[in-house]
Amino acid sequence: MSVADGTGADTARLPPAFETYAGEPLAQAPAAGPGKNGLLEATFARAGEGPTRLVRDRAEVPYHHTGTLDTDPVPGLATLVAQEPTGGVAQGDRHRMRLETQSGARAHVTTQSATKVHSMDANYAHLDAALSVEAGSVLEYVPGPTIVNEDARCLQTVSVDLADGAVAIVADVLVPDGLSDHDPFSFDHYHSRVEARHDDRLVCADAVDLRPAKLDPRDPASVGEYGVVGSLYVFAPDGNDGCGALVETIRERLATLESESDRSVHAGVSALPCEAGAVVRLLGHREADVTGALRAAWDETRQELLGVGAPADRRY
């Protein structure tokens, strides 16, 4: 399931192409070297009906945070904003998040802004997140969009480990750089993979894999006429109806959104196998349209599972 990619720690399995990229030396600094091997660890706990607290954390450059916020309308939920003051992700960067909610805790983790993946001439960048969601807890991982520049190679991996009664929500939006002034699909390789397990049983393995030199993303079997790709994963494996009601309410909300607007966003909503939750895929021409639709799906998800909608101060 896991291999080492130069960080000294296990990471999600590398796709074959990225194993090849990993062997390319860098002129300025070694891959995963000082300042390039970012780490953010955070453990959240909650006592009874009280607030969720950050009980353990560790941050290594370029990650940083300034503590939690208690402004979310969901009772007891804490918000952590991950900051990355270096200005973007460069070739050879290996950034890891390790997030855990203990039994009964509720947490929302996001980023201060979009993640900008800079142009590259060797190797690749890896953004990896591992979520551990204990019994009866809620963990939302909703980072800002990922903007991928020309010639960039970006691997994003998210692994989710769910206990009974746990809820996890994961969001991802890809924005190819150059939507206005050059070919939006001028990056080299973008691969985003999400895997989730409930009691050691695989309930989701989904990937967005775009390599323009191998297959034109404009092919109808890929992204087609669109440029921005959004995904929302809802893991709630103990739902009484297998999240069937959630799937239908999200579909209705997105259909209403599309009928009330001239913005072109194509959406699909599906139930996950093993009655584990739902996945939403969004395609659009503009980042604002896709993130707006993703926010609507997230809001509907919260209403269904937590009884409270998305907070007004969050980007999605």
Residue 310 lies in a domain: no
Residue 7 lies in a domain: yes
Residue 140 lies in a domain: yes
Distance (Å, whole) CA 291 – CA 294: 5
* Count of the separate structural domains present in the chain: 1
Question: 34 pLDDT exceeds 60?
Answer: yes
Residue 21 lies in a domain: yes
Range of the domain at 169: 2-305
Q: What share of the chain is helix, strand, coil (3-state, %, to 5)?
A: 15, 40, 45
Other C-beta atoms within 10 Å of 116: how many?
20
The model's pTM is: 0.92
Distance (Å, whole) CA 292 – CA 112: 18
pLDDT per position as a tens digit, 253-292: 998 887 666 668 999 999 998 889 999 999 998 999 999 9
Unique residue bearing structure tokens 């150059």: 178
Residue 161 lies in a domain: yes
pLDDT per position as a tens digit, 184-220: 789 999 999 999 999 889 999 999 999 999 988 888 8
Residue 70 lies in a domain: yes
Residue 313 lies in a domain: no
Per cent of the chain over pLDDT 90 is 71
Residue 311 lies in a domain: no
Please answer whether residues 177 and 188 qualify as being in contact, where contact means their C-beta atoms are separated by less than 8 angstroms: no
Please answer whether residues 27 and 142 qualify as being in contact, where contact means their C-beta atoms are separated by less than 8 angstroms: no
